[in-house]
Structure 1
């Protein structure tokens, strides 16, 4: 698509009658920002970083004898005469014509034009040329392998929205190295074998970056497959970014140079829960109930060990496991909890297994508090409904009312924007963090092909994110960050899913409390 930008700036009163000066620069470009918007930015003097264009440090020289002007800046060269404009930007040349009414003005008018309009024209030319160049460059693609169908699809869909939001934040400010980010979604349908097939598809499409979390079992399968593939195929390596799989071993004994986790794992969150229990003596009798798979069993074992050390007086009065996603009636389990005299239920359940459990507790008149890992996942507050008021707690890296509590309107804007675009609360802030940190690493390296250097740039990176300070540990590729214990209550600014209740912080746990010793012997590429 061809687009014209008309630049006009009033001349001084002395020369204005001589000609109605305008300059027309025609540059082919894609569907980027409107020409008018780019011109406004140019005239207003907005500095463009990236693409080598800036008015800062540039020089505008005018040759009175030839009636031409030259402006030079970082990586760019602009030549203007009374009849044409030539822009050379990063070895790419663009030409345009001045409007006919401007081709034969007096010398005095020519010079006034160059001095009054030349800088704005140059900047707009460069802006448009950079935009055209960006449109022609291929995007940096990110494969998103997650569960978009089946019983847990709602979580995958919410994650997909958050990744698109994070990518758009970066693209709106110019992308990475002048290239847009693009998400390629792949449905693993909750099946580890299919997830590995999707990894093969990622390689076939020459995509170097892969995002996944969700099911920890799938994460483990993918991690092993990525490690083997990268060892055998150094020419087509893949960097695996994990936004929150819960199993500690992924950055522990199964750690990999090729995988980074940007969310606290289950064991780190258990230390945060233990810190909360330690400071709340009213918690005395805890019942453990979890889904019967690796994550659920680790929650149970770690609760006994870590909370037991923090509060030796606490009694664990029950420890049940149930089939994952198959229980329709939790009343038999709730009866056992009620008979135990528990004042607190600690569970790693998520999805319908959590919702049905809490609702069954309400129906049975059980008044125990529920400390959860995933009470805020999309759809869970709605499914729980009124049964969750004052009884459901969760451990999380963020919740929508944090910026209200901390009086940080800049942070609150993320929640407002996400809610306006997608109709739900921003939950997976780790996805925003991981995308920003990946962008920073790529920009530091200067390309997207040297994955070893990109991984090394991520190692040890400290990022003052909008959601708190994040540090990516070099030795195990595990991020550390603050955690919140929050409660579902009425009377907060942002309710959860129109429920009339939302999350309120009852404890903030510093990242240092949950930072654990390194349990990783990482094999690094030569």
Structure 2
């Protein structure tokens, strides 16, 4: 567990300054009910810390994503609180807990935090974990802000659950640009909540355009991908939509290339983190990439502040850095407007909120808590001995916004 507490002495210094400057500082205050008295003392400002528990994958299969989220959160907290680590005079007492990609471990951590008085939890890069944390949020009536976990089921799940990143429907809508109506589409994904969510999203988006959608789902513990890649060739689709995450990406793409998938059909996938760029290799020009984020994609002042903050701390901005940054922005907003203790007030403060995020104008949709944000279409280009993303098109936030659904 990684814990950071922000201790700020500015309030004490301010009090000393005001005392030194006040006229007749030594004169006693009027007694209640006498001339010059208001008849009642002003209520003291609440300075108790606001407890927040961030649950993320410090270890486990998606630890690299978790670290990126963590770095973004740190930079976002610094930015949103202007370096003070506090909101309205209340310090944010942040606890960082490793879920290791395990839903049971995440739930246990959430229960411990809630039992200790925490009213705000956030994080996780794992879709299956996010769904379990959302359940805990509803059962215990606390605010939950999910991280990069992309499953569409998080959106609208309950009134206590929000998200700080994109969802699978936004990925698919970005990839759908230019796909002809009625195409034969095969989804190639891991058999987990993330992969299954992408199958559902492709059916919802492309199926609505008359596409025939099938899937090849691979168990998470598989390390030999040749037989599954062969199924893609045999299916003879017009488009293969690949939804993959984690350390097996390189081996998966090698099998896909070796089996001739890239030569036999159009392949579309989300561009992952920097570590995966080399996995596509010379096949990069045969793949259409949708993208949630890469450093420099947005080019606005908030993004620049995020990148500078991460680099100042010794990190490097990557795919899920914005998700951590936005989570911090949302938590600060909730505490600023809702006080940190009144969960209903914090929910109201976030619903419908529009703000400048690292990806530009961003909105928390009031109806179902979807995070409306722009997306990107990119290509990989050679950069010396490595590869780097090059922006082809910014896709407007409204264009890729998922269909609204009522909060369950």
**Contact kept in structure 2, 1:418 and 1:426, CA below 8 Å:** no
Deviation (angstroms), 1:464 = 2.5
The answer (yes or no) to whether the contact 2:76–2:306 under 8 Å persists in 1 is no
Q: Quick check: 1:434 aligned with 2:327? A: yes
| Aligned with 1:210 (options 114, 121, 134) | 121
Q: Which has the larger radius of gyration?
A: 1
Aligned position for 1:79 = 21
What is the Cα-based RMSD across aligned positions, in Å?
3.7
Q: Does residue 307 of the first structure (1) align with residue 307 of the second (2)?
A: no
CA 1:417–1:199 in 2, change beyond 3 Å: closer, same or farther? closer
What secondary structure is seen at the aligned counterpart in 2 of 1:490?
A: strand
Query: Does structure 1 residue 512 correspond to structure 2 residue 407?
Result: no
Contact 2:302 2:356 in 1 (8 A): no
Structure 2 match to 1:479: 371
- Deviation at residue 261 of structure 1 after TM alignment: 1.5
Secondary structure, aligned partner of 1:501:
strand
What is the aligned partner in structure 2 of residue 320 from structure 1?
A: 216
Q: 1:199 to 1:335 in 2, by over 3 A?
A: same
Whether the 8 Å CA contact 1:437–1:463 is kept in 2: the answer is: no
* Deviations, residues 145-179 of structure 1 (Å, cap 9, x unaligned): 12222333222222222222222333443331134
Shift, 1:387, TM fit: 4.8
| CA distance in 2: counterparts of 1:226 and 1:499, whole angstroms | 47
Determine whether 1:349 maps to 2:244. yes
Q: Is the 8 A contact 1:381 1:388 kept in 2?
A: no
**Partner in structure 2 of residue 18 of structure 1:** none
Q: Deviations along 1:100-144, whole A, 9 cap, x unmatched?
A: xxxxxxxxxxxxxxxxxxxxxxxxxxxxxxxxxx9x955433211
2:295 paired residue number: 400
Match of 2:231 among 336, 358, 377: 336
CA gap of 1:378–1:503, structure 2 versus 1, over 3 A, is closer
TM-score (norm 2): 0.80
Which structure carries more relative contact order (alpha carbon 8 Å, separation 6+)? 2
d(CA) in 1 for partners of 2:385 and 2:314?
A: 17
Query: Mean alpha-carbon deviation: is it higher for 450-459 or for 337-346?
Result: 337-346
The answer (yes or no) to whether the contact 2:75–2:306 under 8 Å persists in 1 is no
Q: Give the TM-score taking structure 1 as reference length.
A: 0.63
Q: Are residue 250 (structure 1) and residue 142 (structure 2) matched?
A: no
Gaps (5+ residues) in structure 2? 1-5, 27-44
CA gap of 1:413–1:185, structure 2 versus 1, over 3 A, is closer
Q: Which runs of 5+ in 1 are unaligned?
A: 1-29, 34-47, 54-70, 88-133, 231-237, 492-497
Output the CA distance in 2 between the equivalents of 1:430 and 1:191.
Answer: 20
Structural mapping, 1:432-471, within 5 Å: 432-445=325-338, 447-471=339-363
SS of the equivalent of 1:350 reads coil
Do residues 268 (structure 1) and 170 (structure 2) align? yes
